[in-house]
């Protein structure tokens, strides 16, 4: 059976990228709403209800509306917005998060695609808490830089309008209340939210996140080798995994740490750096905000839900 896939919000940044990634697929039929009715709830309801899988690439309120417009019990949903990431009845769409998470996604009717910032944190922290190397109440800070496409069409137009006059590096969320905090706390297995200071750079896409670890605060500080081994073991077992762990390093400079290093792929690459004598370490994640951070992850989840092999179908 050829699955019918509807992208609600296909004219947006994430939606367009998903459409491009699916354009050559013969195992599914992309059903597209006419441009003039793309914001008409009645027309959207029609497409949502005739789709086998609906991928929501919308602001949160519109994504909630789409779910309410589904009247049957057959349309499966992948929501790229942050509306349902900690909601009851939704599977969290980070397939490599746990060994059985890809199976949970494969069986789900409702999948919440992860936020771009949470993925770097969850990949860096969850395996360490699960392995008892970090306590759940450890005070963490987390920062990083994202290309401006992370803010969607509005931010793209703003940055491209200002060109080289736009800030090269712009910290934000300095009210310390970013909307990703609940999702980060829950799936990184933390007792409370990290101190999160994201920033936007004046380039289109690609992310680099940093989790500094002041391990001297722990009675039993894990070594860099222990941190690295826990992450490498965790992600070595992931089915269809797109998380890679680079070799353990202790470097003054690392030119390969470029937020754009894995653009146009679905990879999330983790790097571990440590100085055991000081009991200090940092875990750095590099990924494409429109790849593993959004559209690539949505296609990965779609493949899991349709039982399609990632290697042959996820071109990126």
Ligand X SMILES: CC(=O)N[C@@H](CCC(=O)OP(=O)(O)O)C(=O)O
Rounded to whole angstroms, the Cα distance separating 103 from 304 reads: 8
Contact call for residue 200 and ligand NDP (CB under 6 A): no
Q: Which does 264 bind (CB under 5 to 8 A by kind): ligand NDP, ligand X, none?
A: none
Q: Pick between residue 222 and residue 293 the one whose CB is nearest to ligand X.
A: 293
Residues 50-53: contacts with CB under 8 Å, at least 24 apart: 50/4, 50/6, 51/4, 51/5, 51/6, 51/75, 52/3, 52/4, 52/5, 52/76, 53/3, 53/4, 53/5, 53/6, 53/77, 53/78, 53/302, 53/305, 53/306
Choice between 59 and 212, CB closer to ligand NDP: 59
Count of residues of this chain found to bind ligand NDP when the rule CB under 6 A is applied: 27
Residue 13 touching ligand X (CB under 6 A):
no
Q: Any contact of residue 295 with ligand X (CB under 6 A)?
A: no
Q: Of 7, 14, 274, 303, which one interacts with ligand NDP (CB under 6 A)?
A: 14
Residues 166-205 interacting with ligand X (rule: CB under 6 A): 180, 198, 200
Catalytic machinery residues: 116
The interface partner of residue 200, options being ligand X, ligand NDP, none and the CB cut-off 5 to 8 Å by kind, is ligand X
Burial class (CB in 10 A: 0-12, 13-18, 19+), 97: buried
The tokens for 94 are 């980070």
**What residues does 169 pair with on adjacent strands?**
201
- Smallest Cα–Cα separation from 280: which of 246, 235, 250? 250
- How many positions of this chain bind ligand X (CB under 6 A)? 12
Q: How do beta strands 169-171 and 243-245 pair?
A: unpaired
What CA–CA distance (Å, rounded) separates 38 from 270?
38
Q: Is 70 in the site for ligand NDP (CB under 6 A)?
A: no
Determine, following the binding rule CB under 6 A, whether residue 301 of this chain makes contact with ligand X: no
Among residue numbers 142 through 161, which ones bind ligand NDP (CB under 6 A)?
Answer: 149-150, 152-154
**Nearest distance in Å: CB 19, ligand X:** 18
Least distance (Å) from ligand X to the CB of residue 231?
22
What tokens appear for 263 in the block? 């653009």
Regarding 300 and contact with ligand X (CB under 6 A), the answer is no
Of the residues 13, 81, 124, 263, which one makes contact with ligand X according to CB under 6 A? 81
Q: State how far Cα 289 lies from the chain centre.
A: 7
x-or-dash string of contact with ligand X, 141-160, rule CB under 6 A: -----x---xx---x-----
Give the residue with the Cβ less far from ligand X, 151 or 212.
151
Work out what residue 134 binds among ligand NDP, ligand X, none; the CB cut-off runs from 5 to 8 Å by kind.
none
Q: Using the rule CB under 6 A, give the single segment among 4-12, 163-171, 195-203, 241-249 that binds ligand NDP.
A: 4-12
80 belongs to the binding site for ligand NDP (CB under 6 A): yes
- Residues of this chain that bind ligand X (CB under 6 A): 81-82, 115-117, 146, 150-151, 155, 180, 198, 200
- Residues of this chain that bind ligand NDP (CB under 6 A): 9, 11-15, 38-39, 57-60, 62, 80-82, 115-116, 149-150, 152-154, 289-290, 293-294
């Amino acid at each position: 059976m050829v699955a019918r896939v509807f992208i609600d919000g296909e004219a947006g940044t994430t939606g367009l990228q998903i459409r491009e990634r699916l354009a050559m697929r013969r195992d599914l039929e992309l059903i597209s709403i006419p441009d003039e009715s793309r914001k008409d709830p009645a027309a959207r309801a029609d497409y949502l209800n005739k789709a086998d899988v609906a991928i929501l690439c919308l602001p949160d309120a519109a994504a909630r509306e789409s779910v309410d417009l589904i009247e049957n019990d057959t349309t499966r949903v992948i929501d790229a917005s942050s509306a349902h990431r900690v909601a009851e009845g939704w599977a969290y769409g980070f397939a490599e998060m746990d060994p059985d998470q890809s199976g949970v996604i494969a069986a789900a009717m409702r999948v919440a695609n992860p936020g771009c910032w949470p993925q770097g944190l969850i990949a860096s922290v969850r395996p360490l808490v699960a392995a008892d190397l970090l306590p759940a109440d450890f005070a963490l800070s987390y920062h990083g830089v994202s290309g401006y496409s992370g803010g969607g069409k509005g931010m793209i137009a703003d940055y491209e309008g200002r060109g080289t006059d736009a800030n090269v590096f712009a910290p934000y969320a300095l009210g310390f209340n970013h909307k990703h905090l609940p999702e980060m706390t829950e799936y990184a297995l933390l007792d409370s939210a990290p101190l999160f200071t994201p920033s936007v750079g004046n380039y289109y896409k690609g992310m680099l996140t940093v989790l500094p670890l002041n391990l001297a605060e722990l009675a039993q500080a894990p070594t860099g080798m222990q941190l690295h081994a826990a992450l490498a073991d965790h992600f070595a077992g992931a089915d269809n995994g797109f998380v890679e762990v680079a070799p353990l390093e202790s470097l003054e400079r690392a030119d390969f740490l470029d937020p754009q290093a894995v653009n146009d792929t679905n990879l999330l690459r983790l790097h571990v750096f440590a100085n055991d004598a000081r009991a200090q370490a940092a875990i750095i994640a590099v990924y494409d905000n429109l790849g593993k951070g959004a559209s690539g992850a949505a296609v990965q989840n779609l493949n899991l839900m349709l039982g399609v092999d990632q290697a042959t179908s996820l071109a990126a």
